Amino acid sequence: MYDSGNVFAKIIRGEIPSKKVVENEYALSFYDVNPMCEKHVLVVPRGEYENILDFARCASAAEQAGFWECFVKTAEAVGIEGEFNVFANAGLNAPLFNQSVFHFHLHLIAGEKTSACIDIMKEMLCKK
Ligand code: AMP
């Protein structure tokens, strides 16, 4: 069940600040506070969807179109083209990375890895 007290819901409502990249009626994007690479942006729908599956199942055609428009404009705005990663985590016990904010978001990542990213990768290699 969606909890509207999550940090991205607060950013959407303007209750806490973020470093915004792009906004439209249905979605917005902003820089991740703990970047894994030089360019690490989160693309978030304004609607209340806990994860990517909820969004894909339940968001209207207009919300989905608005989200993808925001995604494309974000990539253009931060200069991402050709070499990048996109991922979405879901749940507290996902196989690779756990979700920590329960409002659907895509991570859009490019450029040099940060030391935080290298530490995470090392930690993953040590786990079963
Ligand atoms: P996930 O673990 O996939 O749910 O990703 C949540 C992401 O949100 C993490 O990469 C965090 O660094 C990032 N994050 C948490 N709080 C904020 C915030 N206030 N502004 C921007 N990014 C945030």
Task: Check residue 128 and give its pLDDT.
Answer: 67
pLDDT digits (tens, 9 = 90+) for 16-66: 999 999 999 999 999 999 999 999 999 999 999 999 999 999 999 999 999
Neighbour-count burial of 57, counting CB atoms closer than 10 A to its CB (0-12 exposed, 13-18 middle, 19+ buried):
exposed
Enumerate the β-bridge partners of residue 110. Answer: 39
Q: Is the dihedral of CA 96, 102, 107, 113 positive or negative?
A: negative
Determine the distance separating the centroid of ligand 1 and the alpha carbon of 58, expressed in angstroms.
23
DSSP-derived secondary structure letter, 8: H
107 labelled catalytic: no
pLDDT digits (tens, 9 = 90+) for 56-91: 999 999 999 999 999 999 999 999 999 999 999 999
Strand duo 20-23 + 37-45: pairing: unpaired
pLDDT tier, 112 (very low <50, low <70, confident <90, very high otherwise): very high
Which residue, among 98, 11, 5, 89, has the nearest Cα to 51 in the 3D structure?
89
Residue 106 CB partners (closer than 8 Å, separation 6+): 42, 43, 52, 71, 86, 87, 88
Enumerate the β-bridge partners of residue 30. Answer: 20, 42
- Asked whether the predicted pLDDT for residue 124 surpasses 90, the reply is no
| Catalytic member of 40, 103, 105, 107 | 105
Determine the distance separating the centroid of ligand 1 and the alpha carbon of 25, expressed in angstroms.
22
Task: Check residue 127 and give its pLDDT.
Answer: 73
